[in-house]
Amino acid sequence: MANGLLARGMTGLLASPVLSPVADRVLAPLWNRRNAALNEAALEALALSAEDRVLEVGFGGGYLLERMASVVTRGLVAGVDVSPGMVARFGRRFGAETQSGRMDVRCAPAEDLPFEDGAFDKAVSVNSLFYWPDAAAGMRELARVLAPGGRLVLCLTCRKCLENRLVGRVARAWELDELLGLAIDTGFEIGSSERLADRHRLYWRLALTRSPGWETAPVTNGGSDRQTAHPDDAGCED
Ligand SMILES: C[S@@+](CC[C@H](N)C(=O)[O-])C[C@H]1O[C@@H](n2cnc3c(N)ncnc32)[C@H](O)[C@@H]1O
């Protein structure tokens, strides 16, 4: 409960104009560097083609948007982030691509995506879901904007590694079976789930497929009440 309130505060903080300049100058380069391996793992699982329409939620410093744009040369690379600083930073760097219609980056939350139903073939989110104030609402929005059979890739630091860090105090740490429950409850089928590691942490990589008929699935809390024991978390850095 306390963690939930704090997590809402973190998204609120990142969205606030006060923290925007800090996010832009300090956090964006830091995240680009430290999360590079997770973003590369996500990119691999997306298996993008040049014509894909792909959305990233919580793009931060824009590392993955840039990598995706180098592959998706005839489709669309879109992104949302709650931080105005991140969006402004991206706009400065990729103004030409945005003007040409190849990229579409907006300031918006996962829980209220500003896109039409079925607008994307693929979607991705890396180390962002644990900040979302309502993860189930965000996941349902992702199911809505994906076309039938569309792919969603999630990469995020495992629970124990997250809890061992300062950020664990302002994020809602997820264990694998909780994540799988969340995905199934919000309109996805599980393609694969893997536990991977880079030199900073252990993390989950999930490849999900948007279920046909997800719209008629009963709305649940996405498994957010489930609590599970940790599996072997040896390998967490700190
Ligand atoms: C830890 S950073 C990760 C950034 C990037 N994906 C990476 O791997 O480096 C989390 C990002 O998610 C964004 N974020 C947090 N809550 C969000 C929400 N509810 N909707 C969309 N973005 C959100 C933050 O502003 C931040 O840019």
Q: What is the mean pLDDT of residues 182-210?
A: 96
pLDDT score of 238 = 33
Parse the chain into domains and list their residue ranges.
2-216
Q: Which token pair is 177?
A: 């079976």
Q: Which fold has domain 2-216?
A: Rossmann fold (3.40.50)
Q: What pLDDT is attached to residue 231?
A: 39
Regarding the beta carbon of 105 and ligand 1, being less than 6 Å apart is answered no
| Atom 10 of ligand 1, residue of closest alpha carbon | 128
The string of DSSP codes covering 134-150 is: -HHHHHHHHHHHEEEEE
| Residue 229 pLDDT exceeds 90 | no
**pLDDT band (50, 70, 90) for residue 222:** very low
**Per-residue confidence (pLDDT) for residue 213, from 0 to 100:** 75
Full-model pTM:
0.88
Q: Is the pLDDT of residue 225 over 80?
A: no
Best residue among 14, 22, 170 to mutate for probing ligand 1's pocket (most ligand atoms within 8 Å of CB) is 14
CB neighbour list of residue 70: distance below 8 Å, 6 or more residues apart: none
Residue 151 predicted with pLDDT over 60: yes
In ligand 1, the atom with minimum distance to the C-alpha of 39 is 8
**What is residue 218's predicted lDDT score, i.e. its pLDDT?**
56
Task: Give me ligand 1 centre to Cα 33, in Å.
Answer: 15
Quick one: CA dihedral 170, 174, 178, 182, positive or negative? Answer: positive
**pLDDT of amino acid 217:** 57
Q: Mind listing the pLDDT tens digit for each residue in 77-94?
A: 999 999 988 898 888 888
Q: Which of 15-19, 48-52, 117-121 is the least confident region?
A: 15-19
Rounded-to-integer distance, Cα 107 and Cα 17, Å: 12
> Which among 202, 208, 197, 203 is positioned nearest to 45, based on CA atoms?
208
User: Please, which pLDDT band fits residue 59 given cuts at 50, 70 and 90?
Assistant: very high
